[in-house]
């Protein structure tokens, strides 16, 4: 279900992204520059706006710059192929951006004295990082791990909707969204662990787990 959403959302975005990618390449902009600039934009949105309580502005700025994550890969493919460093940079910058988003949310909730919300944001930060780490480690060991109900896009959407609703005065929305996200992120870690376990068993069936 999550995969179907991602694939169809991505297909829809492609028509918008490709002309922008072509124009940027013509202007001499590199995919790696877009990767870094997108991350800086997310940092500004999250830390400069979200952490100070400008939740709607923060979420909108983060959304615009998070979407540039679709642009860098498209540019790389258009300009003759992806690079190993580009793939490494893209994934590493995703972690920086996600940390800023959940760090900003935790900081703002702390300023509001919402300790339950802070705890939820920290669980989301840790579990979200673990979701990505498990995949990176599996891929490093030659396996695949493209599974799970709460991949990055879903995680950002959930915190974004919560942030915007709270910014629009639906006060408990962000805290509820964060606890929901904490649960689905932990579940996703389990899904990925199980997926890797099954692959490892198939690759080395005679070895002890
Ligand atoms: C107080 C401040 C609050 C701030 C809240 C933040 C708000 C953010 C709100 C919404 C943001 C939604 C935008 C989401 C854009 C995400 C783009 C994205 O991630 O694209 C990349 C994704 C996957 O590409 P990769 O395979 O290159 O990425 C991998 C991924 O990161 C893996 O992560 P993992 O799942 O493992 O954790 C890493 O492991 C791997 O390293 C990495 O390479 O691309 C896609 O396939 C999905 C494309 C979907 C496009 C999303 C379209 C969304 C549509 C509309 C967004 C606008 C919504 C507006 C409403 C906002 C409501 C809040
Ligand atoms: N600076 C970059 C960024 C990305 N890539 C390649 O694109 C893949 C990700 O594609 P997205 O559309 O999701 O951004 C990534 O794995 C790399 O192969 C790149 O080469 N340089
Ligand atoms: Mg990208
Ligand atoms: Mg990225």
Closest atom, ligand 1, to C-alpha of 50: 1
Is residue 74 in contact with ligand 2, taking CB distance under 6 Å?
A: yes
pTM here is 0.93
Encode pLDDT of 86-144 as tens digits: 999 999 999 999 999 999 999 999 999 999 999 999 999 999 999 999 999 999 999 99
The catalytic residue among 31, 68, 94, 125 is 94
Q: Dump the DSSP string for 123-159.
A: HHHHHHHHHHHHHHHHHHTT------SS-HHHHHHHH
Rounded to an integer, the average pLDDT of 161-169 is: 98
Q: How far apart are CA 25 and CA 17, in angstroms?
A: 12
Confidence band of 5 (pLDDT split at 50, 70, 90):
confident
Kindly list the protein residues that place their beta carbon closer than 5 angstroms to ligand 3, a single-atom ion: 69, 72-73, 90
Looking at beta carbons, which pairs linking 1-7 to residues 24 or more positions away fall under 8 Å?
1/149, 2/148, 2/149, 2/150, 2/151, 2/154, 3/146, 5/153, 5/154, 6/151, 6/153, 6/154
Angle at 160 between CA 145 and CA 194, to 5 degrees: 20
Encode pLDDT of 190-199 as tens digits: 999 999 999 9
Give residue 73 CA to ligand 3 midpoint distance, Å: 5
pLDDT at 9: 84
Rounded to an integer, the average pLDDT of 53-64 is: 98
Which amino acid residue places its CA nearest to atom 12 of ligand 2?
A: 73
Give residue 202 CA to ligand 3 midpoint distance, Å: 31
Looking at beta carbons, which pairs linking 11-17 to residues 24 or more positions away fall under 8 Å?
13/67, 13/70, 14/70, 14/74, 17/70, 17/71, 17/74
Q: Is the pLDDT of residue 208 over 80?
A: no
Per the CB < 8 A criterion, the answer to whether 159 and 124 are in contact is yes
Q: Is the pLDDT of residue 1 over 70?
A: no
Encode pLDDT of 11-43 as tens digits: 888 889 999 999 999 999 999 999 999 999 999
Give every CB contact of residue 165 below 8 A, 6+ residues apart in sequence: 173, 174, 177
Q: Is the pLDDT of residue 206 over 80?
A: no
Judge whether 98 counts as a catalytic residue. Answer: no
pLDDT at 63: 98
pLDDT at 179: 98
Q: How far apart are CA 45 and CA 51, in angstroms?
A: 9
Q: How far apart are CA 6 and CA 13, in angstroms?
A: 10
Q: How far apart are CA 182 and CA 37, in angstroms?
A: 28
């Amino acid at each position: 279900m999550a995969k179907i959403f991602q694939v169809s959302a991505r297909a829809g975005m492609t028509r918008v992204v490709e002309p922008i990618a072509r124009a940027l390449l013509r202007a001499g902009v590199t995919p790696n520059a877009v990767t870094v600039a997108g991350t800086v934009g997310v940092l500004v949105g999250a830390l400069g706006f979200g952490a100070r309580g400008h939740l709607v502005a923060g979420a909108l700025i983060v959304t615009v710059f998070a979407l540039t994550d679709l642009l860098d890969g498209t540019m790389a493919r258009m300009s003759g192929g992806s690079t190993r460093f580009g793939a490494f940079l893209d994934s590493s910058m995703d972690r920086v951006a996600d940390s800023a988003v959940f760090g900003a949310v935790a900081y703002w909730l702390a300023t509001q004295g919402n300790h339950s919300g802070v705890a939820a944001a920290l669980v989301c930060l840790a579990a979200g990082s673990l979701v990505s780490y498990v995949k990176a480690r599996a891929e490093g060991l030659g396996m695949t791990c493209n599974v799970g109900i709460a991949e990055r896009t879903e995680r950002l959407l959930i915190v974004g909707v919560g942030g915007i609703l709270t910014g629009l005065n639906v006060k408990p929305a962000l805290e509820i969204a964060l606890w929901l996200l904490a649960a689905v992120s932990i579940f996703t870690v389990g899904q990925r662990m199980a997926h890797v376990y099954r692959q490892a068993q198939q690759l080395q069936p005679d070895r002890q787990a």
